[in-house]
Chain A
């Protein structure tokens, strides 16, 4: 009786936690991870393990010795960054490059700004784009999916469907066009690419899990996918060079992975539903501009990073609909 606790309301909590949210995303990534292991073999396991371990280690080291903070690796955010970084790499990347990518992702992308919640740009994408620009050759050859027996270092490699398509459309090479994988192959993941992005179905299952657990809302993924579909559809009908069937643009490359897992990163996406829709439309628009007219075959990472930069503005100017506000 003598030691009653007094605090302001509310006196109960939902029980939700940062760790729970991060765990939800990690669980949602598992279907795509399993598909990747089955498609690309040991390389996936090696790269994922190196990426996750080095992200966690770098966060711990930087927090402990540079920032002199209590390390927060138990909230699983570093694990998630490592996982997402790995998902955006080819499965035959030399392991030391993965470590550099992890250092840039955690060190530059996250801890420079003060750690969890403070970073303006998606850390995994910062790491990925750093690697893409520094090691363009290694980052753009992709092992052909040959199942569990696919070798890690000496894998047979080929271009991604998007790169093949871009080359074929530019050269007007009909023979090359006919070699493009079928929709079904792209849907189930039997194509080359960053190992986490290849299977649309596995990523969609993860996305549905995120929606059901209310980890994310529909606004960002749906607005990205719709924009990509509509924009590429119009371009396709107008005969823009480099534009293929819109379904192809949805399934190929990093659109699915980006829309469901990368663009929905809490820290770097807008706070209001309308802001999230504008952000999604912006990403969809930029990625298609890069695909049609840019020098890279794929632009999802750049599109998300650019819109990450716009997020503070969207938060500043777009308010949620207030209760009682006239429509």
Chain B
């Protein structure tokens, strides 16, 4: 069975709490806060004023550049103010505040459930539609999707790789999406293949989701060029470079993008959003998030409109469990711990995980015993023990020479360390500093 070739770890997947829970729509908030930075790249620019009436799906902020994404109103109502807010990562970003009134959608949006599998648009129109719908990668990086669909001159896309791996423990939203919206995802894949002008697509799914593998495989049987690739369970298989390696055995070189080896990678949730944008005229205004944890009352998969305060999502799912020590936005391997839950849902947050108190603390740090388990676990073939030591000693040049910029911050090294050393803390810190040094050098 296929998997990526270097390193990796096997965390307990803990998906049992929310797996196979039907997607439930969370009620609309009274006030919605829509951050204008929900993607990588330039912030979006607001085009509405205080007092404006907006409908669901209406454009309220346009893209601030090529690598940027527009923002649409997820609710209907009146704009109450333009201000800043703290987003889920604790960053202060510009935002539009809307008082919610009813749930009126733009008439052009098709809200029926009928599957519309015929797409007569050509490549250019599809990409334009995706761009205008504000679609970004929903796997976590939030890179604007239209940019990936326009390879730089001289590069040719050969294969679309669809990420249905969901290798983060606990999270099940992509799994449930594949089970409930498999047909739409297949259509979305065909649209993306048309946009890229390619004949081949591979859907990578890990073997802990056998039902999704079977279902998607049955659906794909009626189409040309779409193949399901069951993958051996291993973290971080959902990492872009690891997934390409696992599915088509090509390794993206250091510092390069997937297009270098002819691959374009999109998450299943992104593909579903593409379907909705192109076939149903619905811009990206909501996503499925997994709300889970060992002591959560109603763990499950929830369809959340962006701008809904996370606290309201949590209330709807039964509230914060008493014994909670840590709340994580995303999964336990790469997610961020949050210090409060008042911030709004956005394109980036794929899960809310409640860790019980006894699992929230780090363990006592011991001496490095040079067991080399971090070297064995690193999926990028780096030497985490050495990088973290260099970072402690502030030897930035040595860190650069040892390829710290290739680190994908997956956390395998720290996960596996028997001495509980905070390897990734040091490496991340050093990587930021080295990145700054490299940018400065480039400007000179």
Contact = CB atoms under 8 A, between A and B. Distances in A.
A218 to B, nearest CB: 12
A267 interface: yes
Contacts of B361: 5
B370 A7 contact: no
Interface string A1-43: 1011111111111101110110000000000000000000000
B186 interface: no
Main SS at interface, chain A: loop
B166 interface: no
A12 B385 contact: no
Interface string B336-370: 11111000000000000101000111110011111
B381 A325 contact: yes
A319 B383 contact: yes
A322 B382 contact: yes
A315 B372 CA distance: 11
A271 B334 CA distance: 26
Question: By CB atoms of chain A within 10 A, which of B335, B375, B380, B406 has the most?
Answer: B375
A267 B419 CA distance: 13
B321 to A, nearest CB: 10
A267 B6 contact: no
A10 B381 contact: no
Please classify the interface of chain B as helix (H, G, I), strand (E, B), loop, or mixed, using the class held by over half of its residues. loop
A324 B251 contact: yes
Contacts of B369: 18, 21, 77, 116-117, 266-267
A217 B377 CA distance: 13
B116 interface: no
Q: What range describes how many residues of B lie at the interface? A: 35 or more
B25 interface: no
Most buried by A among B169, B369, B422: B369
A116 B367 contact: yes
Contacts of B366: 18, 72, 75, 116
A14 B375 contact: no
A324 B337 contact: no
Interface in B394-430: 402-403, 406, 409, 411, 414-420, 422, 424-425, 428
B435 interface: no
B6 A321 contact: yes
A322 B380 contact: yes
A115 interface: yes
Contacts of A115: 367
A144 to B, nearest CB: 39
B11 interface: yes
Interface of B: 6, 9, 11-12, 169, 241, 245, 251-254, 256, 320, 324-328, 332-340, 353, 355, 359-363, 366-373, 375-376, 378-383, 385-386, 402-403, 406, 409, 411, 414-420, 422, 424-425, 428
23 contacts: A4-B324, A4-B337, A5-B361, A8-B337, A9-B332, A11-B333, A11-B337, A12-B12, A16-B373, A18-B418, A21-B418, A75-B366, A118-B367, A271-B385, A315-B386, A320-B381, A320-B383, A322-B254, A322-B382, A323-B6, A323-B381, A324-B256, A325-B381
Given A4-B340, A323-B379, 8 more contacts: A10-B334, A10-B424, A11-B332, A75-B366, A116-B367, A271-B385, A315-B386, A322-B382
